[in-house]
Chain A
Amino acid sequence: MSDQYVLETRSLVKEFKGFVAVDDVNLQIQKGHIHALIGPNGAGKTTVFNLLTKFLIPTRGQILFKGEDITPMKSAAIARKGMVRSFQISAVFPHMTALENIRVALQSFEGSSFSFWKSGASLNRLNKRAMELLDSVGLTEFANTMTVELAYGRKRALELATTLAMEPEILLLDEPTQGMGTEDVDRVVELVRKAAEGRTVLMVEHNLSVVSKLCDRITVLAQGSVLTEGDYEAVSADPRVREVYMGTGSSGERGAVTAEEAAQ
C-alpha cells in the first residue's frame, strides 16, 4: 500500500509540557522526490525533523520507513537503515581532517569500529572512496586540512559528503543553506541536486528560492500542523501560505522571496 512512499508519518504528535509543538502531522514522502518542509519560525519544522530521526520521542503517532514501523527505534539504528540526517548547525568533527571526517562515516559500516587493538593504518583502505566523495563536493584539495580551518560553506559541503558516505536512501537536510552567502547557496543547491540523484530528500528550508529551484513537493507547516501541501506553484499561490508568511494575504506576485525577507 505504501510502496511509493519512502517515509510516512501518521498522526504524529509531540507535546512539550502544556505546549503542542507538532499536532497531528501526516507526511508522505514519495520515492525519488525532493520534498521541502517550510513554514514560519516556530512552525515545528525542526521538531518534526528531530522526531523523524529519533532525536526526540513522539508523544503519539507513527513513523514508517518503507512501510516498516520505525517509531520505537533509536537514532543510530535508523541511520543504519538508510535514513541519514544533517544538522542545522554545521555538524562536522572539527579536529579531524576532511578526509578523516568522511572515513568516520565509511567506517560505520565496517566491522572494525570496536577494534581497539588494530593499527590506524588499517583505515587507509577507506581513503580512495573518501577521496571520491570529497571530489564529488569539490573538496579534493582540502582532504588533508583540519576541518576547523575550512570556510563555512565548505564545512557544509563536507557535511553533505559525510552524509552521502552513508549511502542513504533518504536524506534529511536541516536548513542546508542557512547562514550562507549567495554564492555558497548556489553551490549547495547544485550539491543537493546531485546528491538527490537516485535518492529521496526531505529538507527543511527557509530560503524559498532554493525551494522553488529544487523541490518537487512542498509541505507547509504552521503552528505545528500541516497547512497545505503541493508543488511550488500551488503552494505559493495559496493565500493562506502568504498569510502565515507575510501576515497579510494581499501583496502581488512575489515568487522567490526568502522567508526572512517576507517576515520583515
Chain B
Amino acid sequence: MSQTDIQSDIQKTILKQQKAEDRRKLMLNGILLVLLLLAPFVMYPVFLMKILCFALFAVAFNLLFGFTGLLSFGHAAFLATGGYTTGYLLSNFSGLTTEMGIIAGTLVAAVLGLGFALLSIRRQGIYFAMVTLALAQLVFFFFVQSPFTGGEDGLHGVPRGELFGLINLEDNLNMYYFVLVVFLACYLLVQRIVSSPYGHVLKAIKQNEPRAVSLGYKVDRYKVLAFVISATLAGLAGSMKSVVFQLASLNDAHWHMSGEVILMTLVGGVGTLLGPVLGATLVVNIEYQLGQGPLRDWVDPILGAIFVLTVLSFRSGIVGEVQKFVRKNMG
C-alpha cells in the first residue's frame, strides 16, 4: 500500500469514528428528551423546572470552566441580573409578554457579562476567580441597595403571563414545556459550540495557552466570547427562574450561589456535556430531600462533604468517571 493510500485510509477511519460519535450523541439526546418529556407526569412540574433552571445555569458555567478553563467565581451575578431584570419588567409593564421579559433579562446579563469579561480576562487562575468574585459582590450590593429589587425581601408576585400573548403560563404544565424547550435549545447550542471550529480553539487554549498564542490566536478575544456566551445563558436561566417561581431574590445574587454552581458542575462532571445537568439534578434533590427531614440544619455541611469527596477522590465527576470506565472497558 502506498503512503497516500494509508493516509486516506486513516482519514476514512477518523470520519467513521466521528459518525459513530454523532450517532451516540443523538441517541443520548433522544433519551434525555424522552425522559424530560415524560417527567412531569411522575414528578411535580415546579420542582422539575427548578432543576432545569439550575441545570441550564450549570451548563452555562461549565462552558467557561470545563471547556475554556476559566474558573469564574461570580456567576451568581448573571443569574440574579437576569432574574431581577425580567422580574422587574414583567411586574411593572403589563404590556410585555413573558418571552419579551425573558429576552430583556438575558440581554442585560449578556452586557454585564461583557463588562465582567473585559475587566477580568487578562488575569490568570486564582486572580481571575478573585476579580470575578469582587465584581459579583459589587453587583450584590447594587441589588441590596436598589429600591426596585425589594432589598432583603426580594421581588414578589412576578406575573407569569402569557407566552406570545397566547399560551397561559399560569398552567404549570405549559410553563414546564416552555422551560424544557428553552433548556434543550441551550443544551444543544452548547453541544454545538463545544464541537465547532471555535470550540476546538477553546480546547487548545485550555490545554496550552502559550502554544495557542504562538499559533497566531488572540486568545483574549476567544475567552471574552466564551465568557459572554456563558453569562448570557446564565442570565437566561435566572430570567426563567424568576418567571417560574414568580420571585427574584437576593439568594440568587449571593456568592453562595456562585459556589453552588461550581459544586454542581464538579459533582456531575466538569468538561462533560451531561455532567452539569446531572450535578444540578443531584444537588437540588439533596437540598430538597434533606430540607424536609431531620437533617434540615445539616444541608450545607453535607454538601460541603460531597464537595470535598469529589475533589479528593473522583475529580472527573460522575459523568467523567463513567466515561473513563466505558473507555477503559470497551476499547
Chain A residues near B (Cβ < 8 Å): 53, 55, 74-77, 79-80, 84-87, 91-96, 99-100, 103-105, 107-110, 112-124, 127-128, 131-132, 135, 140-141, 143-144, 162, 166
A131 contact set on B, CB distance < 8 A: 7, 10-11
A95 & B207 in contact (Cβ 8 Å cutoff)? yes
| A144/B211 in contact, CB under 8 A | no
Closest 6 CB pairs of A and B: A120-B195, A79-B216, A116-B198, A91-B211, A93-B207, A108-B216
- The answer to whether A93 touches B192, judged by C-beta atoms less than 8 angstroms apart, is no
- Roughly how many angstroms separate A115 CA and B14 CA in the complex, as a whole number? 22
Given contacts A87-B211, A144-B10, contact A76 B218 (CB under 8 A): yes
Asked if residues A104 and B7 are in contact (CB atoms below 8 Å), the reply is no
Residues B10-40 near A (CB distance < 8 A): 10-11, 13-15, 17-18
Q: Using C-beta atoms within 8 Å of the partner chain, give the interface range for chain B.
A: 35 or more
- State the Cβ distance, A118 to closest chain B Cβ, in Å: 5
Partner among B17, B199, B221 whose Cβ is within 8 Å of the Cβ of A120: B199
Q: A91-B208, A116-B196 are in contact. Are A79 and B14 (CB under 8 A)?
A: no
Q: Are B215 and A105 in contact (CB under 8 A)?
A: yes
- A116: chain B residues at CB < 8 Å are 192-193, 196, 198-199, 225, 229
Candidate in A99, A105, A116, A124 with the most chain B CB atoms within 10 angstroms:
A116
Which chain B residues border A79 with CB–CB below 8 Å? 213-216
A55 to B18, CA, bound (A): 37
> Which of A84, A128, A141 has a CB less than 8 Å from the CB of B215?
A84
A86 to B208, alpha carbons, bound, how many Å? 13
Contact partner of A121 (CB less than 8 A), chosen from B18, B213, B214, is B18
Which of B201, B203, B207 is in CB contact (< 8 Å) with A113? B201
**In the bound complex, do residue B200 and residue A120 qualify as a contact, i.e. CB atoms below 8 Å apart?**
yes
Q: How far is the CA of A113 from the CA of B207 in the complex (A)?
A: 17
| Interface contact A107-B200, CB-CB below 8 Å | yes
A113 to B54: give the CA distance in the assembly, Å: 30
Contact, CB under 8 Å: A166 / B196: no
CB distance from B229 to the nearest CB of A (A): 7
Min CB distance, B185 to chain A, in Å?
13
Q: How far, in angstroms, from A82 to B204 measured CA to CA in the complex?
A: 20
User: A122 contacts which chain B residues (CB < 8 A)?
Assistant: 196-197
Instruction: Tell me, yes or no, whether B178 is within 8 Å of chain A by CB.
Output: no
Q: Does B255 contact A (CB under 8 A)?
A: no
Asked whether any CB of chain A lies closer than 8 Å to the CB of B217, the reply is: yes
Report whether B204 and A140 are in contact in the complex, using a CB–CB cutoff of 8 Å. Answer: no
Contacts A113-B201, A123-B197: A141 and B10 contacting too (C-beta < 8 A)?
Answer: yes
CB-defined A-B contacts under 8 Å, sample of 9: A76-B213, A80-B216, A84-B214, A93-B208, A116-B192, A128-B11, A135-B7, A144-B10, A144-B17
Residues of A within 8 A of B96 (CB): none
**Contact indicator B11/A127 (Cβ below 8 Å):** yes
